[in-house]
Amino acid sequence: MSEPVKVTRNGRVLEIVLDNPKANAINITISQRLGEAFVLLRDDPELRVGIITGGGDRIFCAGWDLKALNAGEMSTNNWWEDDYGPGGFAGLTELWDLNKPVIGALNGLTIGGGFELALACDLLIAGDNVEFSLPELPLGLVPDAGAIQRLAKRLPYNKAIEMFLIGERMSAAEAASYGLVNKVVPQDKLMETARAWANQLAESAPLAVQSIKELMRATEGDTIKESFNTVRTADLPTYRALLTSEDAQEGVQAFVEKRDPSFKGE
């Protein structure tokens, strides 16, 4: 049996492929493997950006492995108490200290828990064949591994509640019209586009890129006035390191000298 989570280094970019035919569904073991990959991205100073995509060209991820659930390998009762790995379900939905950006390269149907995995990414590029849906309600379940928490912050409330209650599929084009995905591209250009974005990010100052996520997470829920205070007084180690970094000096100096900067992440 082939490895259901394939991890490849391309320079400073970590590519993660969820490859569990036919639906790229996620059981506990696969979730743990995904978590290990995202922890590698978090902890390895040589890595700056991650890409997550699905194997094949039809399905990014169909979410929970319902066959494993039916077999008793997972439970619906307090499901979060099962060991899904350090980042919760799918290894990313609760990995709160990952400051490096993750690009979701959505290659097909993005359904249920697969949609929740996508919502945990920072940038989403969708193939033009992609559709999104949350089909949990007819199963007697709710999408509580990220969709309840995140979707209504990305879509108008009525559209989000429609996806929860009605379960109709949303096309990539419609998702883009709401800003739910960043870009829609032809299926055969998906990884090319994702890699181009990842390489651009990998050339940026790492502490600056990582500070964006740290600051946005720390100020979420603040008023504007409160967020200024948070930025200035909270425990924000990446941002504090950025302010006194050699990279900050290098960026300014390179601009003045009209040359490309050489960022080292320190």
Instruction: Find the catalytic residue in 15, 131, 136, 214.
Output: 136
Catalytic site residue 116?
yes
Spell out the SS3 assignment of the chain.
CCCCEEEEEECCEEEEEECCCCCCCECHHHHHHHHHHHHHHHHCCCCCEEEEEECCCCEEECCECHHHHHCCCCCCCCHHHCCCCCCCHHHCCCCCCCCCCEEEEECCEEECHHHHHHHCCCEEEEECCCEEECCCHHHCCCCCCCHHHHHHHCCCHHHHHHHHHCCCCEEHHHHHHCCCCCEEECHHHHHHHHHHHHHHHHCCCHHHHHHHHHHHHHHCCCCHHHHHHHHHHCCCHHHHHHHCCHHHHHHHHHHHCCCCCCCCCC
Find the catalytic residue in 94, 116, 131, 214: 116
Give the up-direction half-sphere exposure of residue 152: CA atoms within 13 A in the CB hemisphere.
10
Instruction: Tell me whether residue 136 is one of the annotated catalytic residues.
Output: yes
Tell me the torsion sign for CA atoms 240, 245, 247, 248: positive
Dihedral sign, Cα of residue 144, residue 150, residue 153, residue 158: negative
Q: Is the dihedral of CA 83, 87, 90, 94 positive or negative?
A: positive
**Residue numbers annotated as active site:** 116, 136
